[in-house]
Structure 1
């Protein structure tokens, strides 16, 4: 249209069609047609106003060129259009046409048909989001390099990236997994890296953050909700299947992969994170950003004073898990065992695990807290959590038995020591039975019964019980003596004397 207006201006100035064509404004045929239209609509009068573009376009009335080529897939257009609306790729459509219809055409025909179908659809539009300083940060995970894990296997690492939406300053950390504990720990270290907290954190619908994704009413992970409350930020999840809402961090992850991970070597995870931190401050933070046209660190200096301060005391971040209390009064978490009151056996409890402790809750009621077990299979037990019978059994251990025996007397103490010193049979219950006789017979009688049992060299529970039940402990203990006539039997010999040779000549013969 600009060329048509220039041609009309030159005509109003008296130039011929040849002069206009020589000036390469329009061709002679177009100039001749335009002059004819100008004379009809009085556009060539230099004293009159120039026509509007709409009037020139309406007068020209250029028809659209109609394609004379008919696609070989025209008969299948509706079917292909239905497949395209379902999100089926062109390669899959091409294979289906060959399989179902025996079509022998080329894939280019399918591609042209899909392009023609999409040209008739309304174009997709986007809206660029603007953020105030300190308003929001966007978070995402990206695939990292393969490294040797401490368990001796090569595993995939994952890049946790938090990008401030205003300044584009980043926090990058590579981790081994995407669990809730890792997610919370990365948030804590990111806020400490920035030394401030944004008012919103925009995330996708990862399971470590969102239990149930929904465009209007998502369900947030209980542990992540506690993290947001502790650091005073709002969680802003993207609608399902709409990652464009966090395009800033998506671009940041792409930039990380293309600029940092490419052509670098890493010895281990610590080396990878050390290089990443140096890259963020020395390269990514100093570059001129393609959108803001300023360095992220320069904008961060403006943004940081407007962000929320870190809490005076860092919140105690923990992960929540549903566990069941087993009949042995213990729950199993992370291949370690923790006790809870026996009255809750069979119930589903809530477990909150932090780096140093494990707490158990019956709904909202706190029931137990344990130090975090370090070894696999380790058992943390509070004796009061066990049933009464088990509490009594475990309470009456060796130290308790020894202390109770000292209260009875020296004979009882000696008898208990001999019972517990048995190297073949565990006599803990026998010792407990002896001490339990105090309730029925009292300390003096039990001490006398133990003394009589030791005198007969029979330190057993049944012996002490028989002495007490028959009243033998009440009779004086008679010391048995051997008459002097029988003190040295005439023909008795010990083994050494019996086998000693009285004749040295016999030894020589042997």
Structure 2
């Protein structure tokens, strides 16, 4: 400690007794606060004030006997780190604490105090007061309580490195975790890739693992679950929404950039990665899933939860009875596609045609394709229009006779004009097919017309005449007969080819274009005589 002169010590003691803060004394005297603090401790330990003073008006030791100039009693010692004077912000403590909870800084609070509360202090006073409050006021979170079977939280994380099938490379798969909020019991699985159907299937597996479904599920705004995030009306993808409806569960997507809403599953993912999977490698996904199930059953479920001070498995047994019962049938997954209604009133799916009425010709409809059936829905309202059983063979037409369209369109006239160019029999067969099947038969008409692009028209027209004679009005029959006639014509050409090849192989001695050998001899003789004359010259 620096040793001050007696008059400076007396000055410090006098200012401390008057209630000035150490910072104020430093500003007035220029003495360091550390030195002032040390002398304050020293004065508190002494019974008397400093003995000598050159400052006028301050009692010294020789004058201590005079009753009029006896010094007043020394103020009690202050705790270490405390100031002797209250802050000017103390009357506004409630307002400052409320502003800090809103995340406002010291500058904004100071400006608010001056404008609305008539604060007369300086900004540094507010800054010091705010710094003390922030040290003793940690961040606060509202801890929510949930009933058994009420909520489940889900999210994706990263699993342990796993060998990619068919390679020597390791990659981290996606780790799916579903945690019941009441009991903290979790379901953990790793998958290589995720999709809308995979995301929904993992939910279904989790509910069947728990033995029932919860009332609602809290998820992140990932694309597998939420197509368009929104605070009031988030848009879920169709497969996920249908899965939740099948199990009578309501989705509650967390707000964007608000992971604390699903803090339970966030902690579960961190617990899994930091304890179960840390430093491990697996050869297959199945091996990692088996290890996760073993770890959950043996270690995670029997543990005592830190906040609840209860065993997780015991809380899960209590919660199991409150889960919703599972439906008898599992979810039937589907995919949605858009199709345009053709001029025959049908849509095409996997090379088969299905009636789409009452959808108008030329409009787009939503086709929901299941494993064994398909649904035709309105594109805007999602209203169900038709339901069909999926055709087992490509090319099948699922269309009642009373819904067939027989009035010719511009495309029909174009096909008949091309059939007329092939031949009379081809045109007659195409007109007969259209009168029997209507516009849905135009595909067969196109097939017959396109045969003329690969085979001679005479053979196609002859095949159509044979089809009319046989009474088989089918594109397949015309195609088969055409190919047979083409094969027979090629066979006949092959039989005629050897004689032509033999004649072409022998050299011909006489022809109109071949001159006589005497003419070639005379030409050579004249050319030789001319060359000899040039050499002599």
Partner of 2:466: 434
Q: Compared with structure 1, are the counterparts of its residues 267 and 434 closer, same or farther at alpha carbon in structure 2 (3 Å cutoff)?
A: same
Larger CA Rg, structure 1 vs 2: 2
Q: Contact 1:340–1:360 at 8 Å: present in 2 too?
A: no
Partner of 1:62: 84
Q: Contact 2:352–2:391 at 8 Å: present in 1 too?
A: no
Tell me the distance in 2 between the aligned counterparts of 1:338 and 1:125: 62
1:212 aligns with 2:259: no
Partner of 2:249: 233
Distance apart, 1:366 and its partner CA: 4.0
Partner of 2:397: 383
1:128 aligns with 2:150: no
| SS of corresponding position for 2:332 | coil
Tell me the distance in 2 between the aligned counterparts of 1:321 and 1:396: 26
Show the 5 A alignment for 1:105-116. none
Partner of 1:300: 316
Tell me the distance in 2 between the aligned counterparts of 1:325 and 1:144: 46
What TM-score, normalized by structure 2, do the two folds share?
A: 0.49
What is the Cα-based RMSD across aligned positions, in Å?
Answer: 4.9
Q: Compared with structure 1, are the counterparts of its residues 213 and 330 closer, same or farther at alpha carbon in structure 2 (3 Å cutoff)?
A: same
Q: Deviations over 1:62-113 (max 9, x none)?
A: 2489xxxxxxxxxxxxxxx99xx9xxxxxxxxxxxxxxxxxxxxxxxxxxxx
1:179 to 191, 195, 211: 195
Q: Deviations over 1:351-393 (max 9, x none)?
A: 33445555443442444646599xxxxx944334799466376
Tell me the distance in 2 between the aligned counterparts of 1:359 and 1:324: 14
Partner of 1:253: 269
Q: Deviations over 1:294-342 (max 9, x none)?
A: 221121111101111112333324344445679998768xxx7665458
Tell me the distance in 2 between the aligned counterparts of 1:367 and 1:426: 44
Distance apart, 1:178 and its partner CA: 2.6
Q: Compared with structure 1, are the counterparts of its residues 124 and 395 closer, same or farther at alpha carbon in structure 2 (3 Å cutoff)?
A: same
Q: Compared with structure 1, are the counterparts of its residues 173 and 426 closer, same or farther at alpha carbon in structure 2 (3 Å cutoff)?
A: farther
Tell me the distance in 2 between the aligned counterparts of 1:174 and 1:278: 14
1:244 aligns with 2:260: yes
Show the 5 A alignment for 1:410-425. none
What TM-score, normalized by structure 1, do the two folds share?
A: 0.51
Partner of 2:155: 140
Tell me the distance in 2 between the aligned counterparts of 1:251 and 1:372: 49
Structure 1: tracts of 5 or more residues without a match = 1-25, 34-55, 66-80, 86-114, 374-378, 398-422, 440-458, 461-510
**Greater Cα offset, 202-211 or 429-438:** 429-438
| SS of corresponding position for 2:173 | strand
Q: Contact 1:317–1:354 at 8 Å: present in 2 too?
A: yes
Structure 2: tracts of 5 or more residues without a match = 1-39, 48-77, 88-102, 108-129, 406-437, 448-454, 472-484, 487-537
| SS of corresponding position for 1:306 | coil
Q: Contact 2:217–2:250 at 8 Å: present in 1 too?
A: yes
Q: Contact 1:340–1:368 at 8 Å: present in 2 too?
A: no
Distance apart, 1:118 and its partner CA: 12
Partner of 1:267: 283
Q: Contact 1:360–1:367 at 8 Å: present in 2 too?
A: yes
Q: Compared with structure 1, are the counterparts of its residues 307 and 430 closer, same or farther at alpha carbon in structure 2 (3 Å cutoff)?
A: same
Q: Compared with structure 1, are the counterparts of its residues 312 and 383 closer, same or farther at alpha carbon in structure 2 (3 Å cutoff)?
A: closer
Q: Deviations over 1:179-236 (max 9, x none)?
A: 1100110011111100111111111211121222122222222222222221112111
Paired positions, count: 320
